[in-house]
């Protein structure tokens, strides 16, 4: 038998019958079907319009297995009912590109949300956003306590994921273990190993019916040309493919690269993409998220490559000496001065986000993703109205160019960038404005 505690009350200037009972899904379903039945957040119970002989009416509608009591409902029964029905679901959407939590907030909680770091109201979406950091997450859990709310966090990508049909089919791995082992022994970087294995795997699938070891030069040449003519791959891709084939045949079959007469394209000489100091300052000023601002500051203030930023660990920073130790290509380590401003920025970021191993941690993972950094730069450049394409490497080019304009020796810039050859660093002399600004335009000698 189910007991319902009934009581005649006046609610919102209307006489009602208050119904309190231990939570039961079937009983709730029946009560919802009663004309005028409503749940009250104030009374914390169901209630129906008042009517004479409501006792007989409820027995008739709810069945004989219900006992009606006019006694005051015990506190334990009220809490049980509240715990099942009154809890409001708070859905938080995590956008990892923007490093923000988006959520719809009950009106009576908006003042608490306003106090969170980065709190911002979006009138069109009718949602709040706050910075996605540990301090805010902890405070949100306090604001939306488990007794009154159901608290869930979903990844933005999970709600906006593409259908499986958009994903490329993954080819089974045909690459011999010896190839990877030899590259590891020769201290090739993780990215180089992954790239070469992918290129060789596709190559092996293309010739899976042939004897790879004795494959004629002409067939290899035709394969390379097909990558250019059919798939329209770049010169850079062509060079990578040739390098991968060279290493593969050398490491696995002892066949030297000179056995092939492979077409290696000439590399286009392109000037580095550089943005002005004023534009960088504008991007930093427009960045409210302290994590994003720290990433942009390190990209420009240290001239790091993308993978060097996400591989950066807290232990690599010496705050007393104000230097950063970075491991670059070929596992070569270099030391970079970071200055007072960057030291202060990193310390402020650590107080807010509390990273443990890597300086930048991803949501639900130990290490931040390179794609996240790329999107931070891309979105911020678009936000401030920059027309040219801006990438993390643009900050590295700008770092080197601005140092050169400030009179820093080219050899020192080479060390800071981690270049093996000075010829690589010399490209920045072509984009430095220092000498160009001293040239008088010949049109200035004429009268317009």
* CATH class (in words) of the domain with range 277-434: mainly alpha
Instruction: Decide if pLDDT at 183 tops 80.
Output: yes
* CATH class (in words) of the domain with range 88-158: alpha beta
Tell me how far apart the alpha carbons of residues 226 and 217 are, in angstroms, rounded to a whole number: 14
Question: Given pLDDT bands bounded at 50, 70 and 90, which one contains residue 161?
Answer: very low
Listed range (72-86, 303-317, 403-417) with the worst mean pLDDT: 72-86
More reliable by pLDDT, 66 or 312: 312
What counts of helices (H) and strands (E) characterise the chain?
A: 19, 13
Tokens representing residue 318 in the block = 């010496």
- Give the mean pLDDT of 127-147: 82
H helices of 329-409, in order, are 339-353, 370-383, 392-405
Q: What pLDDT is recorded for position 439?
A: 58
What distances in angstroms separate CA 341 from CA 72, 179, 262, one per listed residue? 66, 46, 50
Q: What pLDDT is recorded for position 394?
A: 94
Residue bearing tokens 């643009």: 394
Q: Give me the chain's average pLDDT, please.
A: 81
Q: What pLDDT is recorded for position 423?
A: 78
**CB-side neighbour CA atoms (13 Å) of 318:** 10
Percent of the chain predicted with pLDDT > 70: 81
- Overall residue count recorded for the chain in this entry: 448
- Give the mean pLDDT of 126-136: 83
**Per-residue pLDDT tens digits for 211-261:** 888 888 788 888 877 776 555 556 677 778 888 888 899 899 888 765 455
What distances in angstroms separate CA 345 from CA 117, 241, 297, 339, 369, one per listed residue? 16, 42, 8, 10, 21
* Domain range 177-259, its CATH number among 2.40.50.100, 1.10.150.130, 1.10.12.10, 3.40.630.10: 1.10.150.130
Question: Given pLDDT bands bounded at 50, 70 and 90, which one contains residue 445?
Answer: low
CA-wise closest residue to 137 among 359, 448, 363:
363
Instruction: Decide if pLDDT at 318 tops 90.
Output: yes
Determine which helix (DSSP H) or strand (DSSP E) holds 60, and give its type and residue range: helix 54-62
Q: What pLDDT is recorded for position 290?
A: 92
Question: Given pLDDT bands bounded at 50, 70 and 90, which one contains residue 380?
Answer: very high
CA-wise closest residue to 182 among 167, 197, 171:
197
Tell me how far apart the alpha carbons of residues 32 and 62 are, in angstroms, rounded to a whole number: 11
Tell me how far apart the alpha carbons of residues 90 and 154 are, in angstroms, rounded to a whole number: 11
Please say whether the beta carbons of 103 and 154 come within 8 A.
no
The residues, ordered by sequence, that sit 6+ positions from 7 with a Cβ below 8 Å of its Cβ are 17, 18, 20, 70, 72
Residue bearing tokens 């805010």: 136
More reliable by pLDDT, 413 or 119: 413
| Bridge partners of residue 46, in order along the sequence | 19, 39
Tokens representing residue 80 in the block = 């049980």
CA-wise closest residue to 1 among 48, 57, 59, 55:
59
Which range, 118-127, 211-220, 285-294, 437-446, is most confident?
Answer: 285-294
Expressed in angstroms, the distance from the first to the final Cα of the chain is 101
Q: What pLDDT is recorded for position 166?
A: 41
Which one-letter DSSP state was computed for residue 29? Answer: H
Please state whether the predicted TM-score (pTM) of the whole model is above 0.75: no
**Per-residue pLDDT tens digits for 404-421:** 888 888 899 989 998 888
Catalytic residues: 305, 329, 393, 396, 419, 428
CA-wise closest residue to 106 among 138, 84, 128, 123:
128
Q: What pLDDT is recorded for position 162?
A: 41
Tell me how far apart the alpha carbons of residues 185 and 163 are, in angstroms, rounded to a whole number: 40
Tell me how far apart the alpha carbons of residues 23 and 2 are, in angstroms, rounded to a whole number: 10
Tell me how far apart the alpha carbons of residues 99 and 291 are, in angstroms, rounded to a whole number: 8
**Per-residue pLDDT tens digits for 327-379:** 887 778 899 999 899 999 999 999 988 888 899 987 655 778 888 899 999 99
């Amino acid at each position: 038998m189910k007991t319902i505690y009934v009581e005649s009350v006046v609610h919102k200037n209307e006489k009602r019958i208050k119904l309190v009972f231990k939570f039961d899904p079937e009983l709730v379903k029946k009560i919802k079907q009663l004309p005028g039945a409503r749940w009250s957040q104030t009374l914390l119970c169901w209630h129906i319009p008042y009517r004479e002989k409501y006792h007989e009416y409820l027995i008739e509608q709810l069945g004989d297995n219900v006992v009606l009591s006019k006694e005051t409902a015990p506190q334990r029964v009220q809490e049980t009912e509240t715990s099942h029905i009154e809890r409001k679901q708070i859905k938080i959407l995590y956008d990892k590109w923007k490093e923000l939590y988006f959520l719809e907030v009950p009106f009576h909680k908006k003042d608490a949300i306003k106090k969170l770091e980065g709190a911002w109201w979006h009138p069109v979406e009718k949602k709040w956003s706050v910075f996605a950091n540990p301090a805010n997450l902890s405070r949100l859990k306090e604001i939306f306590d488990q007794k009154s709310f159901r608290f869930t966090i979903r990844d933005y990508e999970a709600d906006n994921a593409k259908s499986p049909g958009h994903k490329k089919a993954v080819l089974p791995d045909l690459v011999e273990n010896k190839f990877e082992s030899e590259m590891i022994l020769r201290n090739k970087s993780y990215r180089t190993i992954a790239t070469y294995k992918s290129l060789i795997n596709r190559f092996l699938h293309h010739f899976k019916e042939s004897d790879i070891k004795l494959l004629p030069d002409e067939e290899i040449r035709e394969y390379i040309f097909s990558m250019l003519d059919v798939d329209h791959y770049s010169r850079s891709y062509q060079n990578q493919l040739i390098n991968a084939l060279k290493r593969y045949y050398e490491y696995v079959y002892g066949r030297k690269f000179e056995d092939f007469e492979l077409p290696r394209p000439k590399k286009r000489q392109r000037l580095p993409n550089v943005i002005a100091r004023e534009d960088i300052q504008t991007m930093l000023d427009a960045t409210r998220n302290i994590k994003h601002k720290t990433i942009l500051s390190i990209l420009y203030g240290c001239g790091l490559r993308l993978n060097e930023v996400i591989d950066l660990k807290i232990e690599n920073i010496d705050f007393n000496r104000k230097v950063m130790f970075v491991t670059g290509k070929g596992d070569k380590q270099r030391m970079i001065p970071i200055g007072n401003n960057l030291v202060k920025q990193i310390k402020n970021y650590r107080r807010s986000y509390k990273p443990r191993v890597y300086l930048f941690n991803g949501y639900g993972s130990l290490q931040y993703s390179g794609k996240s950094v790329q999107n931070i730069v891309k979105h911020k450049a678009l936000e401030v109205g920059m027309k040219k394409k801006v990438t993390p490497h643009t900050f590295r080019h700008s770092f080197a160019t601005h140092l050169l304009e400030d009179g820093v020796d080219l050899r020192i810039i080479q060390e800071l960038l981690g270049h093996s050859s000075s010829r690589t660093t010399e490209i920045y002399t072509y984009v430095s404005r220092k000498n160009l600004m001293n040239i008088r335009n010949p049109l200035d000698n004429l009268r317009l």
